[in-house]
Amino acid sequence: MGLELYLDLLSQPCRSIYIFARSNNIPFEFKHVELFKDSVLGKRPAAGSGAEQPRAGPSNSQGTGKVNLLKKVPALKDGDFTLAECTAILLYLSRKYNTPDHWYPSDIQKRARVDEYLSWHHANIRANAPKTMWIKVLIPLFTGQPLPSEKLQEVMEGLSTSLKQFEERFLQDKAFIIGSEISLADLVAIVELMQPVGVGCDIFEDRPRLLEWRRRVEDAVGKELFFQAHEMILNIKELSNIQIDPQLKEQLAPVLMKMLK
């Protein structure tokens, strides 16, 4: 049995793995897991025809649970071997398929820079960027009411601070985070920063250095692949059509509100 990747492209870590695998021509079976459909959030009403999302396997949350005991995506299954967590999967793919050195350099200092960014990223960019989606789409979906604008402003201020640090500490005047070529650090960063864009918060506006970096990342992985991977997040407001069980709403709404305190 070949390599299987269990992914939901609404998830930013899943998008990084999908883009990495496709851009490096890694053969895999795409197990499309839809976390927001027939799962925790409820069910979509019957829909008409639309753009088909890339998939090479059934949408099956139970199947993912058998692969990943944490029942989360992303998840990898390679024969009898299973693996969870984005960075671990990216490094496994990089090593097994001997991807070009610039992704995770053999040079010890460049590799240390990738590791440094990934460590900083989780406590900064990842701690702020996804909250915009929760505030503008998901929490109103559960509560039936928009959050106060002050809450979004608070999150955007935190994200702005992280973006300033990103530009000054990591990007500086370089084409990419570790130099002249794209690395895993750039890929992990860009998928996270597309979350706010998907809900109408254009963080690249008025940040020319950041915008030019984004364009270079798009070119490096291929624009068609980049936008294919981000098609769902750029249409995230369609989630407002999901029908959620009232009892589930009552149970999860207070939990979601606590996430942003």
Q: What is the greatest pairwise CA distance in the chain?
A: 54
Lowest mean pLDDT across 8-12, 119-123, 165-169, 236-240: 236-240
Domain 108-259 architecture: Up-down Bundle (1.20)
Are β-strands 3-7 and 75-78 bridged in parallel, bridged antiparallel, or unpaired? antiparallel
How much is the average pLDDT of 104-133? 92
State the SS3 of 154-181.
HHHHHHHHHHHHHHHHHHCCCCECCECC
Q: What is the DSSP string of 78-101?
A: ETTEEEESHHHHHHHHHHHTT--T
pLDDT of residue 260: 58
pLDDT of residue 59: 43
> What interhelical angle do 12-23 and 86-96 show, nearest 10?
10
Q: How far is CA 202 from CA 34, 155, 196, in A?
A: 26, 14, 7
Mean pLDDT is highest, among 37-46, 172-181, 244-253, for 172-181
Is the model's pLDDT at 46 over the cut of 80?
A: no
pLDDT of residue 243: 67
3-state secondary structure of 11: coil
Starting at the edge strand found earlier in the chain, the sheet holding 29-32 runs: 29-32, 3-7, 75-78, 81-84
How much is the average pLDDT of 12-26? 97
Mean pLDDT is highest, among 19-28, 144-153, 247-256, for 19-28
Are β-strands 29-32 and 75-78 bridged in parallel, bridged antiparallel, or unpaired? unpaired
Lowest mean pLDDT across 37-46, 177-186, 234-243: 37-46
CA-CA distance, 62 to 44, in Å (whole number)? 18
Lowest mean pLDDT across 58-67, 111-120, 226-235, 239-248: 58-67
Q: In terms of pTM, does the model score above 0.95?
A: no
pLDDT of residue 242: 66
pLDDT of residue 143: 75
Is the model's pLDDT at 62 over the cut of 70?
A: no
pLDDT of residue 121: 95
Per-residue pLDDT band at 68 (split at 50, 70, 90): very low
Is the model's pLDDT at 87 over the cut of 80?
A: yes
CATH class for the domain made up of 3-96: alpha beta
Alpha-carbon Rg for the chain in angstroms? 18
pLDDT of residue 56: 39
Is the model's pLDDT at 190 over the cut of 60?
A: yes
The two tokens of residue 73 are: 């995506």
3-state secondary structure of 119: helix
Paired residues of 176 in beta bridges: 179
Per-residue pLDDT band at 136 (split at 50, 70, 90): confident
Alpha helices in 199-245 (DSSP H): 208-221, 223-229
**Rounded to the nearest 5°, which phi and psi values hold at 124?**
-125, -80
Q: What average pLDDT does the chain have?
A: 83
CATH 3.40.30.10 segments of the chain: 3-96
CA-CA distance, 85 to 154, in Å (whole number)? 29
